[in-house]
């Protein structure tokens, strides 16, 4: 099958992030399943066609280029990742051509663009279930959960088998909730060798350097925001970066996360619980290592790129026999 994947691939900007971005992983999975994939980076294309490097100003020309790409390749399927700059008329034109269209989405806030255009897609996927899928189903009943994928050649490290000079790693974009939590780390855990990434431009790292920080930490935090925690199975793709690289993780609660991780992924609800578990697992190396190794194998088994992208296609063709094999298909 010929597939065009229209998404932010970081071809020009944030080059290192292409190592682990979901668009790259999903396309890789389609190729692993035997399909041809052409990646179209709508964000970078829009910037290219603007004198002022403005995505918005270059959007019209980018949409024209995208339609030229459609005509040249004649795809059987177009899959969109977010696609905030694609015009509704572009979607409608593909619909009239009877080209199958899928949208995947990893933000947990439904934007007006999606509300207006969502009905045009054959399928919609989101990296959370529960409340977010209920919202999606109001404009497209064919909305389904999509796991964050992992790939053994991208998340290649086995941190559980490495020397780890740091005690604690915290990564995440800056907001007031995270700033408060980080202040507590500095105040109450002054003797812990901690690394904080992503709060300033100077502490933002991407690419393999980011993965090396994960590999070098005894404990990594997966600190999801409160506003997203009412969505079943939702977590930032950060969790796949941590577990996929074999590091031990303490995570904010994931609704029904035991469906995938059994009792091996340890959770914390607040700073006091995180502090207690952090100190426990720093002292109990064998238990920490065993859990990290089990979870590393688990995510590469359940959420590898070939399996996740294969799931997308199984939903598209309604392969009911195959769909029963996915742990999240309910």
Residues 185-206 have pLDDT tens digits of 999 999 999 999 988 888 899 9
Contact 168, 249 (CB under 8 A): no
Strand partners, 79: 5, 102
Q: List the beta bridge partners of residue 80.
A: 6, 103
Which of residues 37 and 113 earns the better pLDDT score? 37
Question: Is the confidence at residue 330, as pLDDT, over 90?
Answer: no
What is the per-residue pLDDT across 212-225, written as a single tens digit (0 to 9) for each? 999 999 999 999 98
Residue positions counted in the chain: 330
When pLDDT is cut at 50, 70 and 90, the band that residue 53 belongs to is: low
Q: Which stretch of 151-155, 179-183, 296-300 has the lowest confidence by average pLDDT?
A: 179-183
Task: Say what percent of the chain tops pLDDT 70.
Answer: 99
What's the mean per-residue pLDDT of the chain? 94
Which three-class secondary structure string do you get for the chain?
CEEEEECCCCCCCCHHHHHCCHHHHHHHHHHHCCCEEEEECHHHHHHHCCCCCCCCCCHHHHHHHHHHHHHHHCCCEEEEECCCCCCHHHHHHHHHCCCEEEEEECCCCCCHHHHHHHHHCCEEEECCCCHHHHHHHCCCCCEEECCCCECCCCCCCCHHHCCCCEEEEEECCCCHHHHHHHHHHHHHCCCCCEEEECCCCCCCCCCHHHHHHHHCEEEEEECCCHHHCCCCCCCCCHHHHHHHCCCCEEECCCCCCHHHHCCCCEECCCHHHHHHHHHHHHHCHHHHHHHHHHHHHHHHHHCEHHHHHHHHHHHHCCCHHHHCCCCCCC
Say if CB 189 and CB 271 are below 8 A apart: no
List of domains in the chain: 2-149+304-323 (3.40.50.2000), 159-302 (3.40.50.2000)
Q: What is the pLDDT of residue 93?
A: 97
Instruction: Supply the pTM of this predicted model.
Output: 0.95
pLDDT score of 303 more than 80 = yes
Q: What is the per-residue pLDDT for 97? A: 96
Mean pLDDT computed over 287-293: 98
Antiparallel, parallel or unpaired: β 266-267 and 194-197: unpaired
Q: What is the pLDDT of residue 56?
A: 76
**Per-residue pLDDT at 200:** 87
Q: What is the mean pLDDT of residues 290-308?
A: 98
pLDDT tens column, 238-274: 999 999 999 999 999 999 999 999 999 999 999 999 9
């Amino acid at each position: 099958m010929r597939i065009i994947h229209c998404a932010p691939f970081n071809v020009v900007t944030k080059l290192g992030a292409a190592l682990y971005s979901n668009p790259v992983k999903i396309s890789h999975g389609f190729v692993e399943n035997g399909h041809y994939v052409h990646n179209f980076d709508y964000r970078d294309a829009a910037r290219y066609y603007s004198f002022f490097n403005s995505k918005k100003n270059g959007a019209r020309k980018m949409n024209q280029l995208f339609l030229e790409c459609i005509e040249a390749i004649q795809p059987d399927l177009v899959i969109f990742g977010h696609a905030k700059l694609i015009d509704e008329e572009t979607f409608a034109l593909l619909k009239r051509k009877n080209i199958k269209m899928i949208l995947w989405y990893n933000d947990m806030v439904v934007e007006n663009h999606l509300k207006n255009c969502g009905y045009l897609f054959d399928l919609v996927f989101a990296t959370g279930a529960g409340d977010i899928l209920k919202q999606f189903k109001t404009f497209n009943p064919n909305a389904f959960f999509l796991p964050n994928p992992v790939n053994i050649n991208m998340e290649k490290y086995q941190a559980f088998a490495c020397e780890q000079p740091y005690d604690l790693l915290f990564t995440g974009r800056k907001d007031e909730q995270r700033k408060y939590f980080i202040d507590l780390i500095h105040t109450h855990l002054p003797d812990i060798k901690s690394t904080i990434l992503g709060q300033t431009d100077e502490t933002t790292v991407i690419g393999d350097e980011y993965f090396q920080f994960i590999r070098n930490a005894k404990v990594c935090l997966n600190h999801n925001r409160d506003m997203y925690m009412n969505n079943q199975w939702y977590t930032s793709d950060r969790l796949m970066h941590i577990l996929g690289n074999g590091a031990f993780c303490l995570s904010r609660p994931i609704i029904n996360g035991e469906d995938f991780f059994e009792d091996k992924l340890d959770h914390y609800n607040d700073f006091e619980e995180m502090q207690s578990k952090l100190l426990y697992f720093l002292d109990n190396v064998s238990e920490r290592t065993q859990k990290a190794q089990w979870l590393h194998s688990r995510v590469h088994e359940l959420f590898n790129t070939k399996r996740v992208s294969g799931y997308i296609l199984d939903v598209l063709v309604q392969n009911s026999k195959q769909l029963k094999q996915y742990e999240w298909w309910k």
